């Protein structure tokens, strides 16, 4: 549950904000002065703070509270005021606020600001974690003819600064290839910053890429390193135009700023879609395509490199055995017997997840019941009226997508094309509770 602290001395306004955010499935806390606010902050972990500037009967006003919080916390803060002006807004942003919202505001405006601020904070933290943890830095494993050709191509292009386009089905390891190129390049001492265009709200994508006066964007975070843009085909045309200009001019500006920042990173992109078709349909710029598609790498799906599965199983078994401090076991025969005729629709990612579950659960691992339930569900659905069958499908589909994004509702909503609030309502209608999402 996402926790939000509302600091406002006007009880009606605080209650109204709380009601709006509670409907959006946020957990809210309220404080009317600085003492109450700091007490709550010391006892709870908040994901966002909404802070009024003018507070009666408070030792500190809103901007002073903002400065104190910023000394210790980096969480997003939205400053609100019914007596705001441009100077106050500029000062609030300068002191560390993510946004300044003037009263009175609509519920839609409030929810948009909250969702945007939390999303940017999550993405920023995820990229910091990716820079500091090696847990996701899997090696590019395999000895099949197609993989050996790919490894040879990586050795050729890695030392250059050429832009690379990686194609492949979902789960084939496009991010692993991008990291392999980064590790063997002159940019290896710099950060590797990965983003997924399909998982970000279109209206926030440019702020995430270019940054704001108070936040570094991905392009700036990747300075002297590599920026990996996954699912680049999902990028809106307006953003494509700006990316093209950046690649041409070799510099960019933050949102709301005129200061030029030099582009100092290598850009690698990937896509599950055929960008040639997107260019033909007009949904992807031809000139940008040629800028990004300097070198092309096409990854095979797991069935096309079936001879690599034994080596991949051993590799992932060793990783997850060490990670979970369990005795290494030989899982090849067990997995091959269970999945001998399996099509591996999730490719490398699915194999990795199955191995991790089997390492953790050991002898207790058994997906036969799950398979029987799925098979029985499919038979049952056929016998249902359309309305009921649709409900069963929607529930299974949403549970699968939520699991895919590790319970992250914002990312799930972005991927399936729903508003976050609409997804929450749909989950409630289908009887999907917090417990059932695990």
Instruction: Quick: pLDDT tens for 358-369.
Output: 888 765 555 555
CA distance 113 to 99: 7
Q: What pLDDT was estimated at residue 341? A: 67
Q: With contact defined as beta carbons under 8 Å apart, do 110 and 81 qualify?
A: no
Q: Average pLDDT for residues 349-375, to the nearest whole number?
A: 68
CATH code given to domain 370-437: 1.10.10.60
Residue listed under structure tokens 């050429």: 162
Q: Is the pLDDT of residue 202 over 90?
A: no
Q: Average pLDDT for residues 241-269, to the nearest whole number?
A: 89
Return the CATH architecture of domain 134-298: 3-Layer(aba) Sandwich (3.40)
Domain boundaries, the chain: 3-119, 134-298, 303-366, 370-437
Quote the pTM value.
0.58
Q: What pLDDT was estimated at residue 434? A: 53
Higher pLDDT, residue 159 or 339:
159
Q: What pLDDT was estimated at residue 323? A: 83
Measure CA 392 to chain center.
27
Superfamily the domain 3-119 falls into: Response regulator (3.40.50.2300)
CA distance 10 to 119: 28
**Residues β-bridged to residue 195:** 229
The highest-level CATH class for domain 303-366 is: mainly alpha
Q: Do domains 3-119 and 134-298 have the same CATH topology?
A: yes
Residue 340 in tokens: 């001998």
Q: What pLDDT was estimated at residue 374? A: 42
Q: Is the pLDDT of residue 373 over 50?
A: no
Q: What pLDDT was estimated at residue 91? A: 85
Confidence of residue 435 (pLDDT cuts 50, 70, 90): very low
Q: Who contacts 327 (Cβ-Cβ below 8 Å, separation ≥6)? A: 321
């Amino acid at each position: 549950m996402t926790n939000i602290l509302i600091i406002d001395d006007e009880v009606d306004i605080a209650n109204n904000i709380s009601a709006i955010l509670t409907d959006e499935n946020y957990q809210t806390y309220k404080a009317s002065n600085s003492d109450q606010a700091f007490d709550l902050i010391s006892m709870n972990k908040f994901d966002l703070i909404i802070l009024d500037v003018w507070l009666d009967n408070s030792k500190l006003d809103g901007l002073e509270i903002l400065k104190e919080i910023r000394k210790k916390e980096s969480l997003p803060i939205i400053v609100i005021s019914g007596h705001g002006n441009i100077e106050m807004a500029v000062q609030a942003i300068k002191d560390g606020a993510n946004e300044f919202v003037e009263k009175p505001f609509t519920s839609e405006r409030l929810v948009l600001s909250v969702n945007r601020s939390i999303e940017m904070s999550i993405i920023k933290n995820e990229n910091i974690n990716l820079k500091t943890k090696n847990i996701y830095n899997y090696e590019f494993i395999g000895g099949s003819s197609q993989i050996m050709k790919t490894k040879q191509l990586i050795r050729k292009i890695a030392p250059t600064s050429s832009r690379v386009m990686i194609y492949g089905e979902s789960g084939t390891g496009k991010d692993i290839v991008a990291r392999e190129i980064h590790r063997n390049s002159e940019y290896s001492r710099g950060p590797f910053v990965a983003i997924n265009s399909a998982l970000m709200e279109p209206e926030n994508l440019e702020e995430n890429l270019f940054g704001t006066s108070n936040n570094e964007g991905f392009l700036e975070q990747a300075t002297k390193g590599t920026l990996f843009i996954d699912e680049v085909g999902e990028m809106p045309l307006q953003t494509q135009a700006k990316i093209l200009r950046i690649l041409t001019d070799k510099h960019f500006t933050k949102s709301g700023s005129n200061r030029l920042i030099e582009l100092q990173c290598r850009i690698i992109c990937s896509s599950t879609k055929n960008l040639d078709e997107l260019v033909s349909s007009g949904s992807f710029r031809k000139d940008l395509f040629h800028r990004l598609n300097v070198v092309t790498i096409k990854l095979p799906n797991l069935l096309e490199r079936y001879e690599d599965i034994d080596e991949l199983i051993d590799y992932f078994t060793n990783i997850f055995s060490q990670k979970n401090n369990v005795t290494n076991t030989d899982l090849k025969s067990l997995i091959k017997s269970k999945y001998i005729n399996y099509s591996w629709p999730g490719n490398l990612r699915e194999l990795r997840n199955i191995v991790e579950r089997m390492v953790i659960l050991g002898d207790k691992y058994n997906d036969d019941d799950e398979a029987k339930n799925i098979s029985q569900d499919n038979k049952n659905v056929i016998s249902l009226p359309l309305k009921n069958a649709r409900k069963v499908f929607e529930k299974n589909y949403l549970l699968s997508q939520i699991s895919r994004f590790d319970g992250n509702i914002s990312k799930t909503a972005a991927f399936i094309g729903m508003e976050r609030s609409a997804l929450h309502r749909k989950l409630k209608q289908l009887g999907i509770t917090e417990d059932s999402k695990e």
